[in-house]
Structure 1
Amino acid sequence: MDEIFKEIRARDFERSNEQAVDQGNVLKSLYLKRDSLIVRDLFPVLRSKLLDPRFQVEFLRHYKSALNSEREYLTEMALRSEASRFDSRFYTLQFPRLDRQLSISTFDEYQEFLRDPGEGHLGLKEILTQNVESYDANSALYVDETYVLYEVARVLYDQYSSRVSMFERFDQLASAELVDVYRRIDVDLKGSDEQFLKYHLLTLQASMRIANDKNYISLIDERIGKHFLVDVPRRAMNVLEHLLAKKLVGSMAFNITSIMDFTPAFESLEYGSLFNFDALRLPEVSRLYDGGMYDDSLWVRMDKPKQSLTFEELCSDFPEHENMVVTQLVHLQFFQENDQYFIHHLDHEYIRYTLDEYAMRTGDPSTKGHKKLKTFKIDKARIPFDFTFDGQHIVFLILDAYFKNKALIQEYFSKVAT
């Protein structure tokens, strides 16, 4: 089925920006056209796979994962609204519907949910019917007979796109465009930016500002005016901006994921607790794992001679594509002055492993990945180890913003707290 999704994704990239805006989601667009890629290729495969109980369980896992992400987002927006003294009911009124969906435990129950008039699916099907291309007497029957398949395909395609885009980040396709953009204002990016030359990271300059007030987070170079989108969660960016404002960082650079004339929508959730510790008393290797899912683990490595601390998250549902796996890692380096510790380097990376390398990595923290991609990098900093933002330690906030398993992060920081 990945091959079909790959072709759908290729169709998406073939569209112009105007077509993408006009047609919307590519899967929906192809479905409404009754395209053979959907009707003759995808749906027959899905019908066959959905006869397998194991596939049904796997589908429900992806379905609920997406619902949990949506609930976390709505929770954060509700809390923000309340903190700003705005009405949060736009978000909180969606919780009952999400909770009903999250309570679904079998594929039969999922199909009953899609047929339930009380859940609004009759109206959704009517909208789809009216938008079927070349509308005819068979349009309503087409939607009625394929609606469940369409909804399943929509969930699985979204999951596929998310998984594949994780690997596409390593191509850093925006780098070549960045070089061209700066060449137009007579700036040799490779010659003038050491971080770009080494890591394809764009160093924050005096002519730039961080745009962190929209759904997407970007850098704007006032000499150019375009938005350089960055792959940094809002909560992490809030921390980085605070460090800049306090003049605790000498250099900061970011991986640019795309370049746009304007910014479009998404975010993430937050929670946690304060911690403070003597860094050199940490063990060389710590591993925490989820009692219900042993493969979900947080590895913490302390290299005392190098005064380096590394956090790496391994997940049971790690993104896998073409026999490759991606994990996340946060690395910091520190120094000691009198009795106080200071962070002078901090970065976040995606690490790519082959399946064989990953199998070794699950038991051996010294196993190196196949390739790495930095999303941001701080150097020449002087950040006190016990420095906090919004009452929480900055290392916790960075980990919590990026890593998926929040419970393990909380557990680790509660263990090292003093």
Structure 2
Amino acid sequence: MYKRQIIYKIIYAKALSYEYLLENGIYIDICKHLFDKYKCDYVLENFDYRSLMVSDSVKSELVRIYGDSALCKYDLFKLDLTSQLIMNNDEFPYIYDENNQRDYLILDHKDKRVIEIFIDLINQGYVKDISFKISSVENCLVILEEAKYGQKYSLKLKDLPDLSVFYDLDSQDDHLWIFVRKDKNDKFSITFEETIEDLFFDKNEYVITNLIHLEVTRINGVDVISHIDHEYIIYTMDTYINRLENSGVKGEHKIKTFKIDNATIPLDYKFNNCNVLYHVVHECMSKKNLVKEYFENLA
């Protein structure tokens, strides 16, 4: 699907790039219509009603946590209103269990529209028996908000995973990839790259991404940024499609816009009361919300 999706976007973007936009308005509308129709057709053709049911993996997790009686009729999970709370954050509703703070029971996202009503009815004492379908069981809400996997940034670099990927909840093809390589002698290499749905490409259909790379060295017991640079990474269309599936794929070319070497910038240094690394990455990347999410723990 993704390859055809990118091809439609290229056609659409080329129509937008013509010198006389008004004269080509009909082509823009046709391309947009084709792309929107393709997305709808794909969803309809691949929809399976069984995807609406509680998965076997979720059932197993609930049995592991709560025993064989975890699920009631229709595979719903019945709340114990003395110790379990329905929570409704900005992105998704979930169940918080005061007696089990390691696991979060994620509800169907469509339930979000009525959760506030249910919470009020429970608080008023009008509802004493309520059950939900559990969509997933997670041990970390961070992963559910904007991270596919990995974790948010920490000044304790040795605790960071080799790869973290954050995505935009509103545009789930937009990603921020963070690679952390741990070298010998307490030296770290950290790379930020974003891949976005609204592709940035040239007239020859080379895809262009943003990348920030830095190196951190320990000097006299203090972590300092010794190198930092910004690059545009150039991919052919085929390479870029492979890159979305394999984080190890490299681009054909790179163009640097700045480079700092032999620096001794403290990792926790603040510029205008803001961590300097966060500030640089935030200014160089297009998806500001993903950068902010990744560095949230610095606040």
**Alignment pair present for 1:390 and 2:272:** yes
Q: Which amino acid aligns with 1:412?
A: Y
Match of 2:26 among 48, 58, 76: 48
Q: Which amino acid aligns with 2:192?
A: F
Q: TM-score scaled to structure 1, two decimals? A: 0.37
SS of the aligned residue for 2:238 comes to helix
* 8 Å contact kept, 1:276–1:386: no
* 8 Å contact kept, 1:328–1:403: yes
* 8 Å contact kept, 1:49–1:55: no
Equivalent residue number for residue 227 of structure 2: 345
Cα separation, 1, equivalents of 2:176 and 2:16: 34
Going from structure 1 to structure 2, the CA distance change for 1:340 and 1:276 (only over 3 Å counts) comes to farther
Q: Which residues in structure 2 correspond to 1:210-229 (within 5 Å)?
A: none
Going from structure 1 to structure 2, the CA distance change for 1:297 and 1:276 (only over 3 Å counts) comes to same
Cα separation, 2, equivalents of 1:412 and 1:379: 25
Q: Which amino acid aligns with 1:318?
A: L
Report the Cα offset of residue 364 of structure 1: 1.8
Cα separation, 1, equivalents of 2:16 and 2:168: 34
Match of 1:285 among 159, 163, 166: 163
**Alignment pair present for 1:368 and 2:250:** yes
Q: Which runs of 5+ in 2 are unaligned?
A: 1-10, 37-152
Q: Which runs of 5+ in 1 are unaligned?
A: 9-37, 59-274
Q: TM-score scaled to structure 2, two decimals? A: 0.50
SS of the aligned residue for 1:376 comes to strand
* 8 Å contact kept, 2:15–2:27: no
Q: Which residues in structure 2 correspond to 1:28-67 (within 5 Å)?
A: 44=23, 46-49=24-27, 52=30, 54=32
Equivalent residue number for residue 197 of structure 2: 316
* 8 Å contact kept, 2:154–2:160: no
Cα separation, 2, equivalents of 1:301 and 1:357: 19
Equivalent residue number for residue 181 of structure 2: 303
* 8 Å contact kept, 1:335–1:342: yes
SS of the aligned residue for 2:172 comes to strand
Aligned length: 167
Report the Cα offset of residue 417 of structure 1: 3.5
Q: Which amino acid aligns with 2:181?
A: D
SS of the aligned residue for 2:256 comes to strand
* 8 Å contact kept, 1:361–1:367: yes
Match of 1:335 among 203, 208, 217: 217
The structure with more helix, counted as a fraction of residues: 1
- Percent of aligned pairs sharing the same letter: 33
Q: Which residues in structure 2 correspond to 1:352-363 (within 5 Å)?
A: 352-363=234-245
Cα separation, 2, equivalents of 1:43 and 1:300: 41
SS of the aligned residue for 1:295 comes to coil
Cα offsets for 1:296-339 (capped at 9, x unmatched): 11100001015201011111112123231000000000111344
Q: Which amino acid aligns with 2:245?
A: G
Cα offsets for 1:235-275 (capped at 9, x unmatched): xxxxxxxxxxxxxxxxxxxxxxxxxxxxxxxxxxxxxxxx8
Cα separation, 2, equivalents of 1:334 and 1:4: 42
**Alignment pair present for 1:409 and 2:259:** no
* 8 Å contact kept, 1:276–1:385: no
Cα offsets for 1:113-171 (capped at 9, x unmatched): xxxxxxxxxxxxxxxxxxxxxxxxxxxxxxxxxxxxxxxxxxxxxxxxxxxxxxxxxxx
Going from structure 1 to structure 2, the CA distance change for 1:386 and 1:55 (only over 3 Å counts) comes to same
* 8 Å contact kept, 1:354–1:370: yes
**Alignment pair present for 1:380 and 2:258:** no
* 8 Å contact kept, 2:206–2:237: yes
| Structure 1 residue runs of 4 or more that deviate by more than 4 Å after TM superposition | 1-6, 55-58
Going from structure 1 to structure 2, the CA distance change for 1:50 and 1:406 (only over 3 Å counts) comes to closer
SS of the aligned residue for 2:174 comes to strand
The structure with more strand, counted as a fraction of residues: 2
* 8 Å contact kept, 1:353–1:371: yes
Cα separation, 2, equivalents of 1:55 and 1:357: 27
Going from structure 1 to structure 2, the CA distance change for 1:337 and 1:350 (only over 3 Å counts) comes to same
Cα separation, 1, equivalents of 2:234 and 2:225: 26
Q: Which amino acid aligns with 2:165?
A: R
Q: Which residues in structure 2 correspond to 1:72-91 (within 5 Å)?
A: none
Cα separation, 2, equivalents of 1:352 and 1:315: 14
